[in-house]
Structure 1
Amino acid sequence: MAKLKTLEDYREEIGQCVKCGCCRAHCPAFGAVKHEGRVARGKIALADALLKGEVEMEDRFLLDMSQCLLCGSC
């Protein structure tokens, strides 16, 4: 049985985002609401902030992180 990964397991991938914002042009969730937390760059920033202890998993955090169509456009 595979071990369930934690956010810490993705620390290296989180650090690889160059924060260019290209994902914004292709993200249907971002296109609908124009909120940075809905696009990949915003989710990466939120995940990084969570790892650093700068934010907690509050309602807004969970909402932003859950808004993804898994379309792969980013």
Structure 2
Amino acid sequence: AFWVNDAKAAWEYTTSNGAVSVQEPKKLEDEFGHVIIASIQTYGDTIHSFVQRDQYEGVFLPGYEPYQ
């Protein structure tokens, strides 16, 4: 995964230049804020995800909890 400032823009740029979309930009949220994730397929079975988490204060992504 790549942390990006704008997941939608990264996805739009790459798909408009030939990348195959795996997941359109999607907002995931919980009580700590939200993230936006989008994914593209590159070579073979490789999938790259663009993760925008500038509006998220949790430990990783929505739904994750710290290990106790």
Which structure dedicates a bigger proportion of its chain to helix?
Answer: 1
Would you tell me which structure has more strand in proportion to its own residues?
Answer: 2
The TM-score, its normalising length taken from structure 2, stands at: 0.28
* TM-score for the superposition, normalised by structure 1: 0.27
